[in-house]
Amino acid sequence: MSQTTTKAHQQAGNLWSSRMAFILAAVGSAVGLGNIWKFPYITGENGGGAFVLVYLACIAIVGIPVLIAEVMIGRRGGQSPVASMHSLTQTEGTRKGWRLIGWNGMIASFLVLSFYSVIGGWALSYVGKAASGMFIGADADAIGGAFGGMLASTGDLLLWHSVFMAIVILIVGRGIRSGMEKAINTLMPLLFVLLFIMVGYAMTTGHFGEAVSFMFSPDFSKLTTEGVLTALGHAAFTLSIGIGVMMAYGSYLPQKVNIARTAMSIALMDTGVALLAGLAIFPLVFANGLEPGAGPGLIFVTLPLAFGQMTGGLIFGTLFFALLLVAAITSAISMLEPVVEWLEEHKGISRAKSALVGGLAIWLVGIGTVLSFNAWADFHPLGGIAFFEGKTVFDLLDFLVSNLMMPLGGLAIALFAGWAMKRQGLDDEIGLKGGMYSAFMFVLRYLTPAGIAVVFLYNLL
């Protein structure tokens, strides 16, 4: 491979078939466990409306600018994140150190998939649990026990993690058009249909208004500094930015597509899905007199309790977890892409083999996360350091990726695009003119880095 050829995929014609195909793929990546699992529970924990407003501001100030920059870098480099950053440092005449953006991205996406797959496996397992009717009429102890029982069983978690990874490998291994695009074209419409069904169902509970006012009437007395930081961190996670995933997807983006406009549609749809997920979940929680601030167990414990009490709970519970599963799969395939793209280019192995080799390595590392919930629950590798006390392998990986590699990657991407690249590159790729361009550059150069730096330092201290 020649490291200086940019736009390799453009030349080979190996691209998304249309702007819409790219949008669906990117929305598929963005919409994931973050929207359906995490957003509702952090909104619940942080008191609702005011948190949602801050989150929307973070999407605008940090999320959209980094998303535009990352897709732009991807298309301009036209190869895997590692190779794209390598060539761009040459063609843009910048310091070689920026190449770390590519490596940071590939390693982080590798690591994040290793644990994302384990949680995706929970979703898989819950489709079956809900369909079996085990939640019907069950009490809080039984439902909490089912969740705890699943986590305690190494065999169960390993099985679901393996099935989940196998699905991801199969899709990615078939290539951009025949694998990813095909799967996404089926899964994304399904996701939207399921989501609308769930919101419609939530409207029949009689507690929809309560959910709307919980999510949209801001009460700033409930907002803490920590809440603001959570909102910012989540804005990055939910848009899949900072770790090369959007860069990898951008490398297959046809030249004629306007990146700024496309990125805004992606962010809008991702945010829309998160809000709709909240509107699907909170009415059920309120209708059953349950607690919106229940934390990570909100959808695996609180929600099944609600389904177990409601008419139609069997069907809607099953559909809900199917929705979660679909969202997780379309995100997971995007995490494998930077690794596969690199293996294909750099090691010259076929797409299918790259997916298999990369996927198996990730699966293997994922076993560390599986064990973190049972056999290794008391194994705290860095326990000697006060800060890491009590953290399992899974906690450490999550911390490393979500609190270090993603924000640092996002920061570096904003700085590279805002300060290091030549004006020509931005003009060719971004698709903004006049005042819009200046406004965008101002945000990207100053506000975005400042925003990320604040969260990053706070998280660290």
Chain residues in the site for ligand PHE (CB under 6 A):
29-30, 32-35, 112, 237-238, 240, 243, 245, 331, 334-335
Min dist CB 270 to ligand PHE, Å, is 8
Contact 351, 175 (CB under 8 A): yes
Min dist CB 423 to ligand PHE, Å, is 29
Min dist CB 30 to ligand PHE, Å, is 5
Q: Is 167 helix (H, G, I), strand (E, B) or coil?
A: helix
Min dist CB 445 to ligand PHE, Å, is 24
Nearer to ligand PHE, 71 or 112 (CB): 112
Strands (E), 222-373: none
Nearer to ligand PHE, 30 or 259 (CB): 30
Q: 286: closest CA among 384, 208, 347?
A: 208
Q: C-alpha angle 413/416/421, rounded to 5°?
A: 135
Min dist CB 229 to ligand PHE, Å, is 17
Min dist CB 13 to ligand PHE, Å, is 26
CA–CA distance, 98 with 400 (Å, rounded to integer):
20
Q: How far, in Å, are 38, 97, 304, 422 from residue 147 at the CA level?
A: 17, 45, 10, 52
Nearer to ligand PHE, 29 or 372 (CB): 29
Dihedral angle at the C-alpha atoms of 147, 148, 149, 154, nearest 10 degrees? 110
Nearer to ligand PHE, 33 or 59 (CB): 33
Nearer to ligand PHE, 32 or 81 (CB): 32
Alpha carbon 425 to its chain centroid, in Å, reads 27
Nearer to ligand PHE, 15 or 236 (CB): 236
Nearer to ligand PHE, 32 or 431 (CB): 32
Q: C-alpha angle 167/168/174, rounded to 5°?
A: 95
Min dist CB 245 to ligand PHE, Å, is 4
DSSP single-letter state for residue 292: T
Place of tokens 């899949």: 240
381 CB contacts (<8 Å, ≥6 apart)?
Answer: 388, 391, 393, 396
